[in-house]
Structure 1
Amino acid sequence: MGLIVQVCKVLGLVLIGLLTIMLIRTATFPSKQPEVTECKALDTDFIQADKDLIRRFQEAIRIQSISWSRFEIELDEVTKLHLFLEKSFPLIHSSSLVTKEVINGHSLLYTVQGSDPTLMPYMLAAHQDVVPVKDQDWDYPPFEAREVDGYIYGRGTIDDKHALMGIMEALEFRLKLKQIPKRTVYLAFGHDEEVYGKNGAGKIAAELVKRRVMFDFILDEGAIIVNNIFKGLDKPVGLVCVVEKGIVTLNLSVEALPTGHSSMPTPETNIGILTRALSRLEHHRQPILFGHGPEQQMFEHLASEAKFPLRFIITNMWFFRPLFGWVLTKLGPSTNAFARTTTAITMIHGGFKTNVLPPNAWAIVNHRVHPAQTLQQVVDHDHSIINDDRVKIKVEEGLEASFISPYDRDAHGYQVISHSMRQVFPSVLVAPGVMIGNTDTRYYWNLTKNIYRFTPTIAMGTEDLKRFHGVNERISVSNYEKVVNFFYHVMQNADEMAVSLPHGHSQEL
């Protein structure tokens, strides 16, 4: 009995010591948020959303540059957008510093020459095209760009013409102030991002590779600013995505059993074999990989503003990581997507008549691949889970996850973006994140090792998230004003900000 008491005392002291260490870590965990001078409307370099600026944005939205499919794009509307940009931004199109090129007939590449050739250039990217709409489902016509209660409704307002126009407005403003950039900047606007971008960004990238252009960093569309992202975190969060998940689409087919009449069925059918395989995939998901990508660091960047007990858990992830990763997979589809490779059965086909046994059956399974996994590892996992040689698995298409771009204090591009975000959105917490979809950046991997994905758009709730590629897409006038100022500060900070050092506004330089 005495030995048991002694063991319990020792265990108690160990637990008290462990808890003490964890509480000290919680209390002393440093903030990873950049300290900046807030961008204010009274600043001499603040870009006001006046009537002309809003009118230009509305006119861009009215141009119906729809990508219906890879083979059907409203190219006449894309051309109309080009002419509109020339008319709307006369300083850009007349400046001796700026060279405009049309790539592959429809994509745009602007080069703004910097004054210091020793500095590596950077690139800002957006896309000209938008996804199709069903007019009858909208409260307001999707290409009218009507302003209602401080919001502009229209296809492209948050994907991605607000970024394209914001970049152009910011550059036009710099030229108006006669600001000569120190660092050369490229502006890349593909015309087919919504249908995989092969003929737009793909051709832009090929041209830049041919010229041996390398970039300090690239910024393209990505995650947005979201409120109430987790319980225990009251402030909005903006994720600068430093990696993009891979994608692999699989065709699962079964042609193992002969056809016949349904009045004399075999014990199994091809459809039955296939559906059991699909059920196994849904019930035995890909492994949890939380912490093997930048997901843990994402939470640690938010820790200083989290409430107890979330702060206690995040600051002691060395202890809670396995449990926390498991919890993420149970909270919902969005958090599950951070923690593992996702599995989605998107198509299924089998049979052609009600009284005939199907000669074959097939289904499409789409995986979005965690950066810690390869496509082959995903396919191997599916084979092991299905464990049935009658089910044939064929890779229809695939793209490995991107490399992870740096996001420490010495990562110039990440620091430029995060500082700019905090200057324009001062209440927003910045953290590195994972892009769960795919963007044009897939074509830019050979141009830099510093690729970042962020869209300066604020989603107030789940209803706003549904507007992406959905009904009643909109942006507030105040948000669009911040979009323009965000890109202006990116341009300023890319020129003036030394690595790891904060930067104020231009009048403070």
Structure 2
Amino acid sequence: MWKKPVLVLVGVFITGVVVLVAVLLLRTYTLPENKVAWQDKGAPRIVLGEKEREELLKALKAAIRIPTVSFSETEQNTTALAEFDEFIHRAFPEIFKSILVTYESVGKYSHLFHVQGSNNSLQPYMLLAHLDVVPAPAEGWDVPPFSGEEKDGYIYGRGTIDDKNCVIGILQALEFHLKRKFQPLRSFYIGIGHDEEIGGRHGAMKIAEKLEAKGVKLAFLLDEGLAVLDGVIQGTSRPIALIGITEKGGIDLNLTVNSSPGHSSMPPRESSIGILSAALSRLEQNPMPSKFGKGPERSMFEQLAREFSFPLNVMMANLWLFAPVISRILEQTPSSNAIVRTTTALTIVNAGIKSNVIPPTARATVNFRIHPAQTADEVMNIVKNTIMDDRVNLSNESFDPLPISPYDEENFGYQTLKRTISDVFSVEPVVPGVCIGNTDSRHFGNLTASIYKFSPVVMKPGDLSRFHGLNERISKEGFESVVQFYYRLIQNSDSDKVPRHRHVSEEL
């Protein structure tokens, strides 16, 4: 009596499976081709003579030799910051004598340039970079970190990829333009902050406040960020360029436990250190929930689906079904885990003054980088429910993730960046991404909704550890590409039309 209903259920199940497979495959193999053809001719490559090549390398090496280190919010190498000011005046004479360029110092050590265009009806844009660097002890480096030494075709030193390469690249590109008697149609600003590594409060923030007070609105803003990744994204076979359309938020959480001091010969059942340690362990052992697929990383992986082989291509094209599986895969390495969730990093612990004294106070700091699908308040609620101990006092400084900048085909800034990346690096695809670090650009939200983060460098797997690490370097050809990128971006931005393209398959 049950045979017929069972057969019906089996038939329905098989039909459902067939339909599901058909939907998955249809969605996967009808995605647009990543290869595009631009409808207009892009900016021509700048032809550099041997003397100009020597000039740009000399400028970068000289910049690296100035140790503009930000140690903390209260300690910077101000002597080096002042020296950097004198250096750029010497290195880029055309900029400082041009009638098209207005210059002013901001916050004593930051720099703001305005390059006047001939068509005031076009909204200006802005190029942003920072001249300060993190500390670099000499131990472990192949060459001294502030030597700017050239070795095997690479220039070594702190700042070669974060972020003096962009500072010098932008200024060198403008210098070359002015030497060639170029006057833009569209005005633009160049902002160079001096304290990005410690929050940008006295540099970029002051620049943004100054422009906002003048009523300036920007068509788009470009800051450091993501890059051209070659072999970095596992499962892909060709270089991929990522443009950051947002960046994670941040929380510096301070935990304090106070208890009675005493002699180590008569320890309490729980000390301030023990209570604090238990709280830190709970935070580390209970990571924030996965938010994969709920932020702009969804668009990144869906647009990259064609770059993966089977079955990853099917899974990436159908995150509505496979997001939990992909999330578990990405969680396996620290770099990709940062895409999945708000990360928790125990960074500072302080307690105790003597081996035989029970300390009255124990303190720690935990840094969270907030996923775009969460807010600082949501993260703090999870933190409190995880610690669940009123003896641990919490205080924090925080900021939410940046709003997601537009990346549609009608957005001038995003499409101009895509066009320039294609021109310089001959790379496809170019897709949106999430910047897991924080940049000066977060201070400019009142000036534009179109804030993008892209560093014009090619990064291979071994290069990622050089950020804030040992043997930071850039190849000579790589730095020339940095200059080429900014030179051509200035040209490509000199238009009143959004760059247009079509997918190659649409031409057939």
* TM-score after normalising by structure 1: 0.91
Between the two proteins, what is the percent identity of the paired residues?
44
- Alignment partner, residue 481 of structure 1: 480
Matches within 5 A, 1:227-246: 227-246=230-249
Indicate conservation of the 8 Å contact 1:190/1:201, yes or no.
Answer: yes
Secondary structure of the residue that 1:145 maps to in structure 2? Answer: coil
- Is 1:499 the counterpart of 2:493? The answer is no
Pair 46,11 (structure 1): closer, same or farther in 2 beyond 3 Å: farther
**Cα deviation, residue 194, structure 1:** 2.1
Q: Which moved more, 1:29-38 or 1:77-86?
A: 29-38
Residue 131 (str. 1) matches residue 119 (str. 2): no
Query: Which stretch of structure 1 is more off in the superposition, 422-431 or 116-125?
Result: 422-431
Find the residue that maps to 1:496 and give its secondary structure.
coil
AA at the equivalent of 2:500: L
2:177: which partner in 1? 174
Match of 1:57 among 55, 60, 64: 60
The one of 143, 161, 173 aligned to 1:140: 143
1:47 and 1:315, CA in 2 relative to 1: closer, same or farther beyond 3 A? farther
**SS at structure 2 position matched to 1:35:** strand
In 1, the alpha carbon distance for the partners of 2:388 and 2:59 equals: 58
In the other structure, the counterpart of 1:435 is 435
1:489–1:37: structure 2 CA closer, same or farther, 3 Å change rule? farther
State the 1:487 CA deviation.
0.8
Would you say 1:425 and 2:428 are equivalent positions? no
Structure 1 residue 74 displacement after superposition: 2.9
The aligned counterpart of 1:379 is: 380
2:155–2:476: 8 Å Cα contact kept in structure 1?
Answer: yes
**Which consecutive residues of structure 2, in runs of 5 or more, have no partner in the other structure?**
503-508
- Residue 349 of structure 1 corresponds to 350
- Give the match for residue 416 of structure 2: 416
Residues 36-88 of structure 1: CA distance to partner in whole angstroms, max 9, x if unpaired? 499999x5634466223222222222233233333333333333333332333
The 5 A counterparts of 1:225-304 are 225-255=228-258, 258-304=260-306
CA distance in 2, matches of 1:20, 1:445: 44
Alignment match, 1:403: 403
Q: Which residue of 2 aligns with 1:507?
A: none
Look up the equivalent residue of 1:119 and give its one-letter code.
L
8 Å Cα contact 1:240-1:452 kept in structure 2: yes
Query: Displacement, 1:220?
Result: 0.7
1:311 corresponds to 2:317: no
For the 8 Å contact 1:166–1:484, the answer to whether it is kept is yes
Aligned pair in 2 of structure 1 residues 343, 84: CA closer, same or farther (>3 Å)? same
Unaligned runs of 5+ in 1: 504-509
Cα displacement string for residues 451-483 of structure 1 (whole angstroms, at most 9, x for unaligned residues):
111111222223x22222222211001111110
Shift in alpha-carbon separation, 1:230–1:18, aligned structure 2, 3 A: same
CA contact (8 A) 1:47 1:484 kept: no
Q: In the aligned structure 2, how far is the partner of 1:37 from the partner of 1:247?
A: 41
Q: Distance in 1 between matches of 2:490 and 2:187?
A: 10
The root-mean-square deviation of aligned C-alpha atoms, in Å, is 2.4
**Deviation, structure 1 residue 110:** 0.8
Q: Which moved more, 1:126-135 or 1:244-253?
A: 126-135
Q: Which moved more, 1:269-278 or 1:442-451?
A: 269-278
The answer to whether the 8 Å contact 2:40/2:500 transfers is no
Counterparts of 1:497 and 1:468, CA distance in 2: 37
Q: 1:90 aligns with which of 86, 89, 93?
A: 93
Shift of 1:389: 2.3
Q: Distance in 1 between matches of 2:413 and 2:139?
A: 43
Aligned: 1:12 with 2:11: no
Q: Would you say the 8 A contact 1:128–1:160 is kept in 2?
A: yes
Shift of 1:216: 0.7
CA distance in 1, matches of 2:350, 2:61: 44
Give the C-alpha shift of residue 418 in structure 1.
1.6
* TM-score (ref. length: structure 2): 0.91
The farther-off stretch of 359-368 and 416-425 is: 359-368
Helix, strand or coil at the partner of 1:362: strand
Q: After superposition, give the CA deviation of every residue in 1:342-382 in whole Å (9 maximum; x if it has no partner).
A: 11122223444445544343322211111222211111111
Q: Deviations over 1:401-460 (max 9, x none)?
A: 111111111221111112111111113532211111111112212111111111112222
Verify the 8 A CA contact 2:45 2:484 in the aligned structure 1: no
- The aligned counterpart of 1:362 is 363
Letter in 2 for 1:363: A
User: Higher mean Cα deviation, 345-354 or 440-449?
Assistant: 345-354
Q: Which residue of 2 aligns with 1:204?
A: 207
Asked if structure 2 preserves the Cα contact closer than 8 Å seen for 1:38 and 1:424, the reply is no
Q: CA deviation at 1:34?
A: 4.7
Looking at structure 2, the residues matched to 284 and 69 of structure 1 have their Cα atoms a distance apart, in angstroms, of: 30
Q: Aligned to 1:104, which of 95, 103, 107?
A: 107
Q: Is the 8 A contact 2:296 2:433 kept in 1?
A: yes
